[in-house]
């Protein structure tokens, strides 16, 4: 049975009431802020680390190597003990039990330092030490879990096997709420008070953007490098900050999604409205396909033979047509080969590219012009279309430009 007009109006009002709910408004605001501050800067800007290996930038061992390079006094063109001093200052701010010690002796930095104590084999992610004291950094920048007795066996090894006093034990974590496991076996329990005394839980990113790894340390390092005029260090730190902001921001975004979903499921009415909205959203491609097809047919577009009914074209000459595809989330706008042509002539592809880059077209696109033997096109961003007639305007403008 079809709904009465009054019922339809009531449903629409329910949708808008749901969209205006405070929790959803706060979610959308926070989500946008996270993307703008942390994630978009990674997606839209060049970064050394995402071209080294498609997945390498996510690995904590790789992160440890990068952090160690900043601390290591042997790193060419970057090395400066002031970076370690800045780090110690942050640690003291995070934990007042940490003593004032800036490694006055010649110090070393080791990554993946192998340890063996009480028959337990392990590897310290980053170890900074001189002949008196040491800093242990347990790197959880990919949010990995703890192994049994992890911090205790490292602490015991450095203290008893290396004979050093531990200045600080750092738990570098992607999750600001994550805490290390201090539930040690009997053989290690005696070290728990000592570890707690010098423990610093250091998030990669925190919401307040103050005393975390990026803002409380790396940002201050970049200020120092700028004052020193060290362009190599500046470049390295800038790229490193973007990497860690992306990793931390991505985790914040995932947590925000989780919390919003849990809040939806906690309220039956809210859950029902969300399902209705989801069902409505899933129909978007069908709706836009119908709208655009109807508009384009009115101005002379017809189905492209040999293609599916989701492709429409307007003949320009025996080689080229104006073309439009609306299929699922693939929306293409531009020039297609004419139905009886095998391909778009190569000598005309550059001309067609320039036409699609004309600044008189309304910008409703994602990305740049793409070209194949059958298509020269841009992808349409449905989120920026606004008035449907923008499509018609663009096609009419291309028809005018083709005549010139």
* pLDDT higher than 50, residue 3: no
> What is the reported pLDDT for 229?
94
DSSP strand pairing (302-303 vs 199-203): unpaired
Q: How far apart are CA 358 and CA 362, in angstroms?
A: 9
Write the pLDDT tens digit of every residue in 325-353.
877 667 888 999 988 888 999 999 999 99
Write the pLDDT tens digit of every residue in 120-132.
788 899 999 999 9
Closest to 75 (Cα-Cα) out of 236, 207, 221, 196: 236
Closest to 144 (Cα-Cα) out of 177, 185, 174: 174
* pLDDT higher than 80, residue 267: yes
Q: How confident is the model at residue 274 (pLDDT cuts 50, 70, 90)?
A: confident
User: What domains can be seen in the chain, in order of their start residue?
Assistant: 5-44+256-281 (no CATH), 51-241 (no CATH), 284-403 (3.30.1460)
Q: How confident is the model at residue 2 (pLDDT cuts 50, 70, 90)?
A: very low
Mean of pLDDT values over 235-244: 93
Closest to 73 (Cα-Cα) out of 105, 100, 115, 114: 105
Q: pTM here?
A: 0.71
DSSP-based three-state secondary structure for 223: helix
> What is the reported pLDDT for 228?
93
* pLDDT higher than 70, residue 5: no
The more confidently predicted of residues 1 and 34 is 34
Write the pLDDT tens digit of every residue in 365-378.
888 899 999 999 99
Q: How far apart are CA 18 and CA 24, in angstroms?
A: 8
Write the pLDDT tens digit of every residue in 282-304.
877 777 778 878 888 888 888 87
* pLDDT higher than 70, residue 12: no
Q: How confident is the model at residue 15 (pLDDT cuts 50, 70, 90)?
A: low
Write the pLDDT tens digit of every residue in 205-225.
988 788 999 999 999 999 999
Compute φ and ψ for 44, nearest 5 degrees: -105, 0
Mean of pLDDT values over 75-90: 95
Q: How confident is the model at residue 55 (pLDDT cuts 50, 70, 90)?
A: low
For the record, the structure tokens of 79 come out as 């090395």
> What is the reported pLDDT for 19?
60
Write the pLDDT tens digit of every residue in 130-165.
999 999 999 998 888 788 899 999 999 999 999 999
> What is the reported pLDDT for 309?
60
> What is the reported pLDDT for 93?
95
* pLDDT higher than 60, residue 250: yes
* pLDDT higher than 70, residue 281: yes
* pLDDT higher than 90, residue 311: no
The more confidently predicted of residues 88 and 9 is 88
Closest to 180 (Cα-Cα) out of 156, 199, 159: 199
Mean of pLDDT values over 304-324: 81
> What is the reported pLDDT for 1?
39
> What is the reported pLDDT for 302?
84
> What is the reported pLDDT for 198?
97
DSSP-based three-state secondary structure for 399: helix
């Amino acid at each position: 049975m079809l709904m009465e007009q009054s019922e339809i109006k009531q449903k629409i009002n329910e949708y808008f009431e749901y969209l205006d709910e405070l929790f959803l408004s706060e979610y959308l605001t926070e989500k946008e802020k996270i993307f703008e501050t942390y994630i978009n800067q990674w997606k839209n800007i060049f970064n050394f680390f995402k071209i080294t290996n498609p997945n390498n930038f996510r690995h904590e061992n790789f992160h440890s190597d990068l952090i160690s390079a900043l601390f290591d006094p042997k790193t060419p063109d970057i090395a400066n003990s002031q970076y370690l001093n800045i780090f110690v200052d942050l640690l003291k701010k995070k934990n007042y039990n940490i003593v004032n010690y800036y490694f006055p002796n010649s110090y070393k930095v080791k990554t993946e330092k192998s340890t063996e104590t009480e028959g337990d084999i392990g590897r310290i992610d980053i170890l900074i030490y001189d002949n008196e004291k040491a800093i242990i950094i347990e790197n959880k920048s990919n949010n990995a879990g703890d192994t049994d007795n992890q911090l205790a066996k490292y602490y015991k090894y450095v203290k008893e096997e290396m004979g050093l006093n531990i200045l600080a034990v750092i738990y570098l974590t992607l999750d600001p709420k994550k805490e290390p496991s201090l539930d040690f076996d009997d053989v290690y329990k005696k070290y728990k008070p000592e570890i707690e005394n010098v423990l610093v839980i250091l998030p990669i990113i925190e919401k307040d953007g103050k005393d975390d790894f990026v803002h409380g340390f790396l940002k201050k390092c970049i200020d120092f490098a700028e004052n020193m005029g060290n362009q190599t260090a500046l470049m390295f730190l800038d790229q490193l900050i973007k990497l860690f902001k992306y990793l931390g921001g991505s985790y914040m975004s995932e947590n925000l999604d989780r919390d919003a979903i849990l809040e939806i499921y906690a309220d039956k009415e809210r859950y029902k409205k969300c399902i209705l909205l989801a069902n409505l959203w899933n129909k978007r491609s069908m709706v836009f396909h119908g709208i655009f097809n109807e508009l384009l047919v009115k101005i002379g577009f017809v189905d492209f033979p040999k293609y599916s009914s989701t492709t429409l074209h307007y003949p320009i000459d025996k080689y080229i047509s104006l073309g439009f595809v609306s299929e699922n989330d693939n929306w293409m706008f531009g020039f297609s080969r004419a139905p009886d042509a095998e391909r778009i002539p190569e000598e005309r592809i550059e001309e067609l590219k320039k036409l699609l880059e004309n600044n008189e077209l309304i910008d409703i696109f994602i990305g740049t012009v793409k070209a194949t033997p059958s298509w020269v096109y841009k992808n349409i961003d449905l989120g920026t279309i606004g008035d449907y007639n923008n499509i018609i305007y663009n096609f009419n403008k291309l028809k005018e430009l083709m005549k010139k």
